[in-house]
């Protein structure tokens, strides 16, 4: 379980395809405090740490299955790509964003990026199957970042990225035509399931 508050920007160091996709990600985290088998949200996708480096070289390795690749942007990651990272929530931690599971629903397209004051206004589009889960003033996780939806119409919705978030996440490099992992609000997911039942 995560909060959508990114605490490090990692960098892809190695990508290897051998059945599943194996990724090595450089990090500022103290890897001596990360257990093998621990979960880390990597641009919103909850992945299991399968190996790690030393305190000096600071990296961890994860494996992405075909299912993960089909729902996320991970299949397009290249060496040098930046990755939003978040360690899991611990009991007693402040819930600064919203409840994020790390179970990515799909990929959203960035339609436009427009400066608005000191912030950036992003308009995104999600696949038809997920449109009903996006609501104005609701929450959404984009590349692991907890954001408030400003407006939603059809398959498009807008969010504002404030200056702090631009510096603390990969959204400082957002551009139209890019794709991001998105996770709908957990409550919206369950309400949608109940409505269909």
CATH code of the domain containing 150: 2.40.30.20
Share of the chain above pLDDT 90, in %: 81
Residues 42 and 114 grouped into a single domain = no
Residue 59 domain-assigned? yes
Q: Tell me the residue range of the domain where 65 lies.
A: 8-86
Q: Note whether residue 93 is domain-resident.
A: no
Residues 6+ apart with CB under 8 A from 3: 86, 89, 93, 94, 95, 96, 97, 98, 99, 100, 146
* Same domain for 112 and 80: no
Q: Does 1 map to a domain?
A: no
Spatial distance between the Cα atoms of 125 and 107, rounded to a whole number of angstroms: 9
- Assess if residue 99 is contained within a domain: no
75 and 110 together in one domain: no
Band (189; pLDDT cuts 50, 70, 90): low
pLDDT in tens, 153-167: 999 999 999 999 999
Contacts of 153 (CB under 8 A, 6+ apart): none
* Within-domain flag for 116: yes
28-31 CB contacts, 8 Å cutoff, 24+ apart: 28/58, 29/58, 29/60, 29/85, 29/87, 30/55, 30/58, 31/55, 31/58, 31/59, 31/60
- pLDDT class for 1, splitting at 50, 70, 90? confident
Percent of the chain whose predicted confidence (pLDDT) is above 70: 93
Q: Is 147 exposed, middle or buried (0-12, 13-18, 19+ CB in 10 A)?
A: buried
């Amino acid at each position: 379980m995560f909060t959508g508050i990114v605490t490090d920007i990692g960098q892809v160091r190695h990508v290897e395809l051998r059945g599943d996709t194996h990724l090595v990600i450089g990090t500022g985290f103290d890897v001596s405090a990360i257990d093998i088998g621990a979960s880390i949200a990597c641009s919103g996708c909850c992945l299991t740490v399968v190996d790690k480096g030393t305190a000096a070289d600071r990296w961890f390795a994860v494996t992405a299955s075909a299912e993960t690749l089909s729902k996320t942007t991970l299949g397009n990651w290249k060496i040098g790509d930046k990755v939003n990272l978040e360690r899991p929530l611990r009991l007693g931690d402040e819930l600064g964003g919203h409840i994020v599971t790390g179970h990515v629903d799909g990929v959203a397209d960035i339609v436009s990026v427009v400066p608005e004051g000191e912030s950036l206004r992003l308009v995104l589009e999600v696949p038809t199957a997920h449109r009903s889960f996006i609501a104005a003033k609701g929450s959404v996780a984009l590349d692991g970042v907890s954001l408030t939806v400003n407006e939603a119409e059809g398959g498009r919705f807008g969010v504002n990225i404030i200056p702090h978030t631009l510096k603390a996440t990969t959204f400082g490099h957002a551009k139209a035509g890019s794709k991001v992992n998105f996770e709908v609000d957990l409550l919206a997911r369950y309400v949608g399931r109940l409505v269909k039942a």
